[in-house]
Amino acid sequence: MKFPWFKRNGIFFIPSSKVGWIIFCGGVVYAVYSFIQIDSKSHSVSDTLINFVFRALFICAVYSLIAYITSRSANIKEEH
Amino acid sequence: MEIQNFEEKLVKMTKPEVIQLRHQEMLANAISSAKDRSVVNWWWLSIPLYIIAALFMKTAFMPDTTLISNIHEFTDKEKYSSFFFFLILPAISIIINLISIRKIYFLSGSPKEMKFLEVVWYNILMIIISVLILIIYSF
């Protein structure tokens, strides 16, 4: 597999390969699915947003961890 | 005669030139890696920060409660997740950032300049945020 999958730009990891884009799109689809799921159970707009932001932050955190690991493995290969 | 020849040979000999030091490359990698790590830390620390902000808002709308009482209520309700987000996560963040700063400090030759702080300010910010989360959780 070709590395790196992501490149860091500020506080965001931007996909730089097909696999990176697949992971990114997977994250977005899961975020949309979570929003619909939370919205169906919540009682108000604020209830939806409060719960969704928490879920969205968690998705972003997991995504950044995956992006960090897969962009780092390229650096390790270059060092050796 | 032999000594003269040797001197001539020495003059002709060229010094090996190293365009880029290995040490410089290591320092650049360490700085880049530390920044990447601090970005990942920021995303993970944003979760407990968001919870604190939400509980702070709850305190503002419910005058009978305090931030600490709301945090206690949350930790009682969500034992494992609060333990992870408020204790393990900041602790790991502090350790990772300290290691990164230490590595950059030694690779850059233990500088006593403000430039060093300019390079690692984001890591220091992450440590401060982590310590604040730990302090809030410990009350």
Secondary-structure breakdown of chain A: helix, strand, coil percentages, each rounded to the nearest 5: 75, 10, 15
* Interface contact flag, B42 A60, Cβ < 8 Å: no
Q: Angle at Cα A37 formed by Cα A47 and Cα B51, nearest 5°?
A: 40
Residue B21 is predicted with a pLDDT of: 63
Residue B78: exposure state from Cβ atoms within 10 A (0-12, 13-18, ≥19):
middle
Characterise B109 by phi-psi region: left (phi > 0), alpha (psi -120 to 50), beta (else). left
Element (H, E) at A54: helix A45-79
The shortest C-alpha distance from B14 to chain A (Å) reads: 29
> Chain A contacts of B32, Cβ < 8 Å?
75
Find residues 51-70 of chain A whose CB sits inside 8 Å of chain B.
53-54, 57-58, 60-61, 64-65, 68
Residue A40 is predicted with a pLDDT of: 92
The shortest C-alpha distance from A26 to chain B (Å) reads: 18
Nearest to A56 by CA among B79, B86, B46: B46
B3-31 pLDDT tens trace: 777 777 777 776 666 666 667 778 888 88
* Interface contact flag, B43 A57, Cβ < 8 Å: yes
> Chain A contacts of B39, Cβ < 8 Å?
8, 10-11, 13, 64, 68
Q: Residue B139 has what DSSP assignment? A: -
A14-57 pLDDT tens trace: 998 899 999 999 999 999 999 999 999 888 888 888 889 999 99
B49-107 pLDDT tens trace: 999 999 998 899 888 888 888 888 888 888 888 899 999 999 999 999 999 998 888 88
Residue B47 is predicted with a pLDDT of: 93
Partner-chain residue, chosen from A8, A58, A79, that has the shortest CB–CB distance to B39? A8
Tell me whether A77 touches chain B (CB under 8 Å).
Answer: no
The nearest alpha carbon in chain B to A11 belongs to: B39
Distance of CA B122 to the CA centre of its chain: 7
* Whether pLDDT at A74 is above 60: no
Give the Cα separation of B107 and B100 in Å (integer).
Answer: 11
Among chain B, residues having any CB pair with chain A shorter than 8 Å are 29, 32-33, 35-37, 39-40, 42-44, 46-47, 50-51, 54
Would you say the ipTM is above 0.85?
no
* Interface contact flag, A64 B40, Cβ < 8 Å: yes
Residue B131 is predicted with a pLDDT of: 95
Residue, of B1 and B113, whose pLDDT is higher: B113
